Amino acid sequence: MKQAKLFAPQGGPIIVSQIENEYNTIQLAFKERGDSYVQWAAKMALSLDTKVPWIMCKQKDAPDPIINTCNGRHCGDTFTGPNGPNKPFLWTENWTAQFRVFGDPPSQRSAEDLAFSIIRFCSKNGTLVNYYMYHGGTNFGRTSSSYTTTRYYDEAPLDEFGLIRQPKWGHLKDAHRAVNLCKRALFSGSPFVQKLGPDQEARVWEQPGTSLCSAFLTNNDTKKPQALRFRGQDYQLPPRSISILPDCKTEVFNSQMITTHHNSRNFVRSVAANKNFNWEMYREVVPDDPGNKLNEPRELYELTKDTSDYAWYITKLDLGRRDLPMKNEILPVLRVASLGHGLHCYVNGKYIGTAHGSKVEKSFVFQKPVEFQAGSNQIALLGFLVGLPDSGAYMEKRYAGPRSITILGLNTGTLDITLNTWSHQVGLDGEKNQIYTQNGFPKVQWVKGGPSEGVTWYKGYFDAPEGDNPVAVKMTGMGKGMVYINGRNIGRYWMSYLSPLKRPTQSEYHIPRSYLQPTMNLIVIVEDEKGDPKDIEIVLVDRDTICGFITEKHLPSVRLFEGKGGKLVALEKDLKPRVELTCPSQKQIVAVEFASFGDPFGACGHYVEGNCTSPVAKQVVEKFCLGKPSCNIPLDTPDLHNKNEACPEMKKTLAIQAKCAFKA
């Protein structure tokens, strides 16, 4: 049993318990009792302790004592609220990004949208927001679900490697600080809504007869900025944004105005680790007749039982000379209709090709021309899975593997060999012999490494990379398979499955430093398509490229305010916009790679000058920042304005990109 304490705005702590049950146990309970999930959960909760409520995600009619909650991106607008007066407003999953699957293009959720959503929820009586995920991670081994990439939720505020992703991390921290400045009003005040326009409103928390007041001004217009007048003052709000006024007067935060710095992730080739892998290879041999025969191919999930991604399906077929086409330019076609996830085809020991489905459409059809011979022919299909089902109803009824195998183009017509009697073998011989370990690899004969087709194992060695930055392996030149480091599986790679952008969904794969020894680290790769390891490299990961992007319209940072004695207090007199840069890990700014004061555009790592810029912008930034671990550059710095007459009437932007490093 797992327990966590939550605190509602009124009253004491609520203990929320979650019982972890095996899927089969739950299924058995359903079959025996005929209960729905909600009824079953309610009975389980009541049987334990009627004073201990359960959380039920996205279940509007959850019976007591279950607390109905919200999962999603915008629960401030989509959640209808708790279905009982004594239940808190809980947002159990605020999706910071979207997990990616192989074949997908990059996906992300902006820091601005996240900030808008949490402030909206808090302004509407929200009690708790739980981020899913706040820290990205790695699906080591075979732990990822169906088609999910090895890198999981990498767009979270803390990325896969535990590095801070800016501005998402900093902007959310600022949003939390701004909401915290309103805590007295949120806990003690009474809420009401004041319409300020067709798509504009103020949500006010106020204690009548006192000065205790906080307001959340919202512009729901997704295209146009709006000027909102509230209690005698004008406030300029960008499209689809919320401004926070902790004292109902001072605007300290707007969800669309990022004042924290940005950063960009770099993958840098290691000097120490890429000296010479000395690659060797071993080709997996297609089994001749592994036994375990049935009339038709077995279902792949049931066959493998999660012990391997792979299973062989093998049959033999006798063909006479008159069965084969007479013309040399005509070849029979082998067609395999499969329920997923993929398969590699071999005929008479020769690799023919590969086909696979997708996350959306797992079924597929493999068909390739094949050179059959007169006499006995072996057809071997290596079915593979890319994770188990992840969600939805009736997961026990998800199927994979070949369901129909036919040969087209024979002189005798189409031949259905689905019921031709098939032998089965779960897993690869290399897996069974554990040739990815120091004790296992001597069991097979290795030869000098090079390009390959079909299932091939590669073995090499590398020294631990220099420094202490996170480590990854870049799988350039490979197709699909898995990587082992010192005998430990770091996950599936799939370089050949390109996104619509014609790029692999994931190219770099995390190697925890705890897996490494100082020298002679064994790397073993099982490549099951086509590949050549000559371009594989070990890389170091950093976020040493930092950026700032602030306009003259920006608010001052919320970090310049604090609550003291129930009042909002400014920590500095100068509350004008400025760019704030901070290097990670006590590094220093060693170079200013881009600086423009005018109308630049782009994103960190890819800024471009616009139609006007100050000719001295880079010099000014270097004066403020070079050799320092952090720096602030005010936008009203005289040199930026005095020497920039190209666009004097424009509200300007200062964009900066700098490089951080340890002092030499």
pLDDT tens digits for range 382-396: 999 999 998 888 888
Which residue(s) pair with 388 in the sheet?
145
Phi-psi region of 96 (alpha: psi -120 to 50; beta: other; left: phi over 0): alpha
pLDDT tens-place string over residues 138-165:
999 999 999 999 999 999 999 999 999 9
Q: What is the pLDDT of residue 20?
A: 32
Asked if residues 68 and 53 have their Cβ atoms less than 8 Å apart, the reply is no
Domains of the chain listed by start with CATH number: 2-206 (3.20.20.80), 268-283+431-542 (2.60.120.260), 300-427 (2.60.120.260), 576-661 (2.60.120.740)
- 89: CB partners within 8 A, 6+ apart: 79, 81, 82, 121, 124, 125, 126, 127, 128
Q: What is the pLDDT of residue 645?
A: 64
Residue 4, pLDDT > 90, answer no
Q: CA 469 to CA 266: how far, in whole Å?
A: 11
Asked if residues 257 and 535 have their Cβ atoms less than 8 Å apart, the reply is no
Residue 321 CA to its chain's centroid (Å):
54
Q: What is the pLDDT of residue 77?
A: 94
pTM: 0.89
pLDDT tens-place string over residues 256-311:
999 999 999 999 999 999 999 999 999 999 999 888 999 999 999 999 999 999 99
Give me 151's structure tokens: 């890198």
Q: What is the pLDDT of residue 642?
A: 75
Asked if residues 250 and 242 have their Cβ atoms less than 8 Å apart, the reply is no
Q: What is the mean pLDDT of residues 178-204?
A: 96
Give me 613's structure tokens: 């810029």
Contacts 24+ apart (CB under 8 A), 194-200: 194/230, 196/228, 196/229, 196/230, 197/226, 197/228, 199/226, 200/226, 200/228, 200/237
pLDDT tens-place string over residues 120-140:
999 999 999 999 999 999 999
- 265: CB partners within 8 A, 6+ apart: 159, 163, 165, 541, 542, 543, 545
Residue 657, pLDDT > 60, answer yes
| Number of H-type helices and E-type strands within the chain | 10, 42
pLDDT tens-place string over residues 621-652:
999 999 999 999 999 988 888 765 667 788 89
Q: CA 536 to CA 517: how far, in whole Å?
A: 19
CA-nearest of 259, 155, 263, 162 to 544 is 263
pLDDT tens-place string over residues 12-47:
333 333 333 333 333 343 344 444 444 545 555 455
- 542: CB partners within 8 A, 6+ apart: 163, 265, 266, 268, 469, 584
Predicted confidence band of residue 6 (pLDDT cuts 50, 70, 90) = very low
How high is the mean pLDDT of the chain? Answer: 90
Asked if residues 76 and 117 have their Cβ atoms less than 8 Å apart, the reply is yes
Q: What is the pLDDT of residue 24?
A: 38
pLDDT tens-place string over residues 409-438:
999 899 999 999 999 999 999 999 999 999
Give me 592's structure tokens: 């200013």
Place of tokens 């808190």: 88
Residue 577, pLDDT > 70, answer yes
Q: CA 270 to CA 523: how far, in whole Å?
A: 16
Q: Which phi and psi (to 5°) does residue 388 adopt?
A: -90, 165
Range of lowest pLDDT (177-181, 234-238, 323-327, 432-436): 323-327
pLDDT tens-place string over residues 95-117:
999 889 999 988 889 999 999 99
CA-nearest of 603, 527, 528, 503 to 104 is 503
Please report the beta strands in 90-153, taking only residues with DSSP state E, as ranges in sequence order. 90-95, 128-132, 137-138, 151-152
Place of tokens 């999603």: 72
Residue 1, pLDDT > 80, answer no
Q: Please, where are the H alpha helices in 19-74?
A: 23-33, 37-48
Q: What is the pLDDT of residue 30?
A: 38
Q: What is the pLDDT of residue 505?
A: 96
Q: What is the mean pLDDT of residues 47-58?
A: 61
Give the Cβ contact number of residue 529 at 10 Å. 23
Give me 357's structure tokens: 């489905």
Q: CA 265 to CA 586: how far, in whole Å?
A: 17
Q: What is the pLDDT of residue 28?
A: 40
Give me 333's structure tokens: 């076609």
Place of tokens 């369901």: 403
Q: What is the mean pLDDT of residues 569-587?
A: 93
Give me 512's structure tokens: 């925890």
Q: CA 262 to CA 178: how far, in whole Å?
A: 19
Q: What is the pLDDT of residue 650?
A: 84
Residue 49, pLDDT > 70, answer no
Instruction: Return the active site residues.
Output: 22, 93
CA-nearest of 475, 342, 337 to 416 is 337
pLDDT tens-place string over residues 513-551:
999 999 999 999 999 999 999 999 999 999 999 999 999
Place of tokens 């599986």: 489
Q: Which amino acid is at 238?
A: P
Angle in degrees, 0-180, between the axes of helices 23-33 and 37-48, rounded to the nearest 10: 100
Q: Which amino acid is at 217?
A: L
Q: CA 273 to CA 519: how far, in whole Å?
A: 9
